[in-house]
Amino acid sequence: MTDENTAPDGGLSAEAQAVVDEIEEKDVDFLRLQFTDILGTVKNVAVPATQAEKAFTEGIYFDGSSIEGFVRIQESDMRLTPDPSTFAILPWRDGRSARLICDVINTSTGEPFEGDPRTILKGAIERAEEMGYQVNAAPEPEFFLFEEDEEGRATTKTNDAGGYFDLAPKDLASDVRRDIIYGLEQMGFEIEASHHEVAQGQHEINFEYDDALTTADNVGTFRTVVRAIAAQHDLHATFMPKPIPRINGSGMHTHISLFTEDGENAFHDDDDEFNLSDTAHSFLAGILEHAPALAAVTNPTVNSYKRLVPGYEAPVYIAWSDRNRSALIRKPAARVPAASRIEARFPDPSCNPYLAFAALIHAGLDGIDKGLEAPDPVRENIYEFDEEKREEYGIETLPSNLGEAITALESDEVVQDALGEHVYEKFVEAKSQEYDEFRIDVSQWELDQYLEKF
């Protein structure tokens, strides 16, 4: 039995019953029970809506050996436990389908599965709560919209020539963004702003911050909604970090703050030059300390490191600033104390949000535990520093490729512990294989450069 969804008398909990009632009232036909693999890919099991009560009380079983990074075939039975707070009707399915995000239960122990990314993030949140903090997060996932060819396959041809904050006629995707926003709002999002980004075909839609678990759920939902509604416009939406060379790539700048149990922002201090508390300084120092290993999780693809190069607004230097955006972490301006936060600018939208947030939280909390002191902020444009000046400031760089990031992760016990033994081993195995496949491949660039030359 799934205790959190059942009442003491064996019936449904009030929250689960409310979902069942809404399913009946809104004539929902199918439920999509969603979870993610360790790479962040959303998986789902579709069941008739008539199975909703059974899903809450008994769970839905599936073969975990078929999911990336889960279990071997001899230990494959897994159970999905829906979280009733995540119920939402899918706006592109004529209101007849809905989704529930699930936790994965190991049927052999009856406990949350140690390979479930959502469970990993819950562990990070629990650690923060034990220290007296609630973690809030607000990511900014950027994406590209590309045209499709005659067979419906994605191209890298953008459908507009717009730039940062441009309007029509250059920004031809404003109607697409509008429809995406409508879809997100129907699924419970509070949208703050949307605009065209710097690169042609690149866009950003910002949604309201929330607790870390809800926000991670929202990132997965956001990517799904963007892709589905773009497809209705015969466009392909991609969160690939760098789909086009020599232009800006897509990041997922992530704003983080800690609040105390009495609702005060633990990151704010009126007396500090930057209005950041000692807690905030130590938290950001922890992220800087573990940044090379964090990159394996927050920037987890071969392509991620095509974005992390100087000159295209992506941070590569391990430093922080209250002004410029060339540093790894920025302290954004805050109108009120509750808005004091830090912004990690290096993550990208190809990451698994559950694992990325968990790793960032653990790294920051490690900084608090150890009382780490943040270095002085760098207010100059670090992109203009030569190597000698970077050494003078003590500024190091992120790994230059996925292989270096994996090596950094293999020597960082804090980030390893953040992932847990199971996920860490499976993650490194999958990413090492990805990087090896990339290394032995011969690219078109190499053929163009060398085939006729040698």
* 111 known member of a binding site: no
Annotated catalytic residue 429: no
Annotated catalytic residue 325: yes
- Residue 441, judged by CB atoms within 10 A of its CB (0-12, 13-18, 19+), counts as exposed
Annotated catalytic residue 281: no
* 208 known member of a binding site: yes
Dist CA 346 CA 254 (whole Å): 8
Annotated catalytic residue 345: yes
* 79 known member of a binding site: no
Dist CA 280 CA 292 (whole Å): 20
* 253 known member of a binding site: yes
Give me 305's structure tokens.
């490191």
Are the C-beta atoms of residues 296 and 283 closer than 8 Å to each other?
A: no
* 249 known member of a binding site: yes
Q: In this structure, is the dihedral angle defined by the CA atoms of residues 16, 22, 27 and 32, taken in order, positive or negative?
A: negative
* 140 known member of a binding site: yes
* 197 known member of a binding site: yes
Annotated catalytic residue 434: no
* 364 known member of a binding site: no
Quickly count: other Cβ atoms within 10 Å of residue 185's Cβ. 13
Q: Which amino acid does the sequence have at 84?
A: P
Residue in 21, 63, 75, 373 annotated catalytic = 63
228-259: b (≥16 Cβ within 10 Å) or e: bbbeebebbbbbbbbbbeeebbbbbbbbbbbb
* 236 known member of a binding site: no
* 313 known member of a binding site: yes
Residue in 103, 166, 197, 348 annotated catalytic = 197
Residue in 233, 325, 390, 422 annotated catalytic = 325
Dist CA 434 CA 199 (whole Å): 27
Annotated catalytic residue 63: yes
Dist CA 87 CA 22 (whole Å): 10
* 307 known member of a binding site: yes
Dist CA 36 CA 355 (whole Å): 11
Residue in 345, 362, 366, 412 annotated catalytic = 345
Residue in 37, 103, 142, 217 annotated catalytic = 142
* 345 known member of a binding site: yes
* 391 known member of a binding site: no
* 118 known member of a binding site: no
* 403 known member of a binding site: no
Annotated catalytic residue 246: no
Q: Of 259, 242, 260, 272, which is closest to residue 377 (Cα–Cα)?
A: 272
* 257 known member of a binding site: yes
Residue in 83, 103, 116, 204 annotated catalytic = 204
* 129 known member of a binding site: no
Residue in 83, 140, 171, 366 annotated catalytic = 140
* 439 known member of a binding site: no
Residue in 103, 160, 343, 412 annotated catalytic = 343
Give me 338's structure tokens.
């509750």
Dist CA 284 CA 71 (whole Å): 35
83-89 long-range contacts, CB within 8 A, separation 24+: 84/5, 84/13, 84/15, 84/16, 84/18, 84/19, 84/56, 85/15, 85/214, 86/217, 87/19, 87/22, 88/186, 88/187, 88/188, 88/221, 89/26, 89/28, 89/186, 89/187
Known binding-site positions: 140, 142, 192, 197, 204, 207-209, 248-249, 253, 255-257, 307, 313, 325, 343, 345
Known binding-site positions for ATP: 192, 207-209, 255-257, 325
Known binding-site positions for L-glutamate: 248-249, 307, 313, 325, 345
For the annotated catalytic residues, the residue numbers are 63, 140, 142, 197, 204, 253, 325, 343, 345
Known binding-site positions for Mg(2+): 140, 142, 197, 204, 253, 343
